């Protein structure tokens, strides 16, 4: 008997996912930097973007990209350590450090590459990483890449995290790693408790503030500011420009020793071409707008609270108490697909989120609010969700 053709094997793997409601489609939605998108020919209200402050459509960001490209070209030509470090990268890194109240910072091509670089460089063979069970995929991949021993603690359980850290090897790096805001729940990590645990156990605390930067804290600095904490040498903040900041790229901010270690070891930085000047210029303009237009954060908070209130009035349970990520649990993957379809029929785009992005049995519709929305959009989305859920028997 001959071997099965290799492409058949791949096809069967995808078919197995289809059978349990886990097929994926890359749906073209047209420009997604405003309130509306066109999905499968239908104009829909967009309730699925992480552009929380609505900056991706801001004319100042577009102008920053155009000016940088016109003045400096479209490509940086090499990795940061060869000839790819541009004045705009250094200027941005100063701005990130100031923004995060940290002594030093480093700009990466994406948030995903930031997490890969940070975690796999700071911890290696013989070291220990203690990681929250619901951490983002990029942190999970980073743990695997590091070759360090990895211990996973139950979601949000800082006491258990500390026990695991206490069992770590002496005189080796111990890394405590958590999302600041969990991307699929919108809930905050217990950062004060994690920080106390890290201090007591001589560990570095890495917080991925991808969903918190620009959104949480009185001036949008992120989860530390929300909790009234100042960065300290033991804390490494990671984040991204691709969500509230309306651009693309990631960053790490922390002690000079940490940033130096990354410059010397982060393979996702060293072996990838440096971000183009336009990307750095957009990131810088995004940071400036967080301070220049605080109404965006205030408007976002008010709309997020309104959506939660309306869903509760309709008898729907959403996860989390605050913030622009408003997930509505459906349980099965099939039910989430049915609800997403019902929303689309009513002119709302918010796709189903299913395993492996969330645990088995925890499929959901993840609604996201942005500062580009208006009150009437939120009313429309809540009504559509209530109607679609009733129709789906949820």
Catalytic residue annotation: 183, 211, 243
Question: Pick from 230, 138, 163: which is nearest to 191 by CA?
Answer: 230
Q: What is the DSSP pairing of strand 363-368 with strand 325-331?
A: antiparallel
DSSP run (H or E) holding 105: strand 104-108
Residues contacting 389, CB < 8 A, separation 6+:
314, 316, 328, 339, 342
Binder among 49, 76, 88, 115 for ligand PMP (CB under 6 A):
115
45-82 CB burial, b ≥16 within 10 A, e <16 = bbbbbbbbbbbbbbebbbebbeebbeebeeebeebbee
Q: Say whether residue 93 binds ligand PMP (CB under 6 A).
A: no
> For ligand PMP, which stretch binds (CB under 6 A), given 104-112, 168-176, 215-223, 320-328?
104-112
Least distance CB 376 / ligand PMP (angstroms): 28
Binder among 52, 99, 112, 344 for ligand PMP (CB under 6 A):
112
Q: Say whether residue 110 binds ligand PMP (CB under 6 A).
A: yes
Q: What is the pattern of x (binds ligand PMP, CB under 6 A) and - over residues 218-257?
A: ----------------------x-x-------x-------
Q: Say whether residue 49 binds ligand PMP (CB under 6 A).
A: no
Q: Say whether residue 138 binds ligand PMP (CB under 6 A).
A: yes
Binder among 183, 268, 279, 338 for ligand PMP (CB under 6 A):
183
Helices 277-292/87-99 angle, 10° precision? 30
> What residue is closest to ligand PMP based on CB?
111
Least distance CB 182 / ligand PMP (angstroms): 7
Query: Whole-angstrom Cα distance, residue 231 to residue 218?
Result: 15
Please count the residues of this chain forming the interface with ligand PMP, following the rule CB under 6 A: 14
Return the residue matching tokens 């913030």.
323
Q: Say whether residue 88 binds ligand PMP (CB under 6 A).
A: no
Residues contacting 74, CB < 8 A, separation 6+:
276, 277, 278
Q: Say whether residue 136 binds ligand PMP (CB under 6 A).
A: yes
> For ligand PMP, which stretch binds (CB under 6 A), given 192-200, 207-215, 258-266, 351-359?
207-215
Is 332:358 a contact under the CB 8 Å cutoff? no
Q: Say whether residue 327 binds ligand PMP (CB under 6 A).
A: no
Is 158:121 a contact under the CB 8 Å cutoff? no
Q: Say whether residue 111 binds ligand PMP (CB under 6 A).
A: yes
Residues contacting 125, CB < 8 A, separation 6+:
147, 148
Q: Say whether residue 121 binds ligand PMP (CB under 6 A).
A: no
Is 293:331 a contact under the CB 8 Å cutoff? no
Question: What are the residues binding ligand PMP (CB under 6 A)?
Answer: 110-112, 115, 136, 138, 179, 183, 208, 210-211, 240, 242, 250
């Amino acid at each position: 008997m001959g071997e099965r053709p290799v492409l058949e094997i791949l096809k069967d793997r995808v078919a197995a996912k289809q059978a349990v409601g886990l097929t994926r489609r890359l749906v073209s939605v047209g420009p997604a930097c405003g309130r509306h998108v066109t999905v499968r020919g239908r104009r829909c209200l967009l309730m699925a973007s992480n552009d929380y402050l609505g900056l991706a459509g801001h004319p100042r960001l577009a102008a920053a990209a155009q000016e940088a490209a016109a003045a400096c070209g479209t490509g940086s030509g090499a990795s940061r350590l060869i000839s790819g470090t541009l004045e705009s990268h250094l200027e941005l890194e100063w701005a990130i450090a100031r923004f995060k109240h940290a002594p030093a910072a480093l700009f990466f091509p994406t948030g995903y590459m930031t997490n890969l670089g940070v975690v796999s460089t700071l911890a290696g063979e013989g070291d220990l990483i203690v990681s929250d069970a619901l951490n983002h995929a990029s942190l999970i991949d980073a743990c695997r890449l590091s070759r360090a021993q990895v211990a996973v603690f139950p979601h949000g359980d800082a006491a258990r995290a500390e026990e695991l850290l206490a069992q770590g090897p002496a005189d080796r790096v111990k890394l405590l790693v958590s999302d600041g805001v969990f991307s699929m729940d919108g809930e905050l990590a217990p950062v004060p408790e994690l920080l106390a645990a890290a201090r007591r156990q001589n560990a570095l605390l890495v917080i991925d503030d991808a969903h918190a930067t620009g959104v949480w804290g009185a001036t949008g600095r992120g989860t530390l500011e929300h909790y009234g904490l100042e960065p300290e040498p033991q804390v490494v903040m990671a984040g991204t420009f691709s969500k509230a900041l309306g651009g693309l790229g990631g960053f790490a901010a922390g002690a000079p020793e940490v940033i130096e270690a990354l410059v010397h070891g982060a393979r996702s930085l060293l072996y990838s071409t440096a971000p183009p000047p336009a990307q750095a210029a957009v990131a810088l303009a995004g940071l400036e707008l967080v301070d220049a237009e605080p109404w965006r954060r205030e408007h976002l908070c008010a709309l997020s609270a309104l959506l939660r209130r309306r869903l509760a009035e309709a008898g729907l349970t959403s996860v989390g108490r605050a913030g622009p990520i408003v997930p509505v649990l459906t349980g099965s993957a099939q039910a989430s697909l049915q609800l997403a379809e019902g929303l689309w029929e009513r002119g709302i785009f918010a796709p189903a989120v299913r395993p492996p992005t969330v645990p088995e049995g925890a499929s959901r519709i993840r609604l996201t609010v942005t500062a580009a929305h208006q009150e009437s959009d939120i009313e429309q989305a809540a009504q559509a969700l209530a109607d679609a859920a009733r129709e789906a028997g949820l």
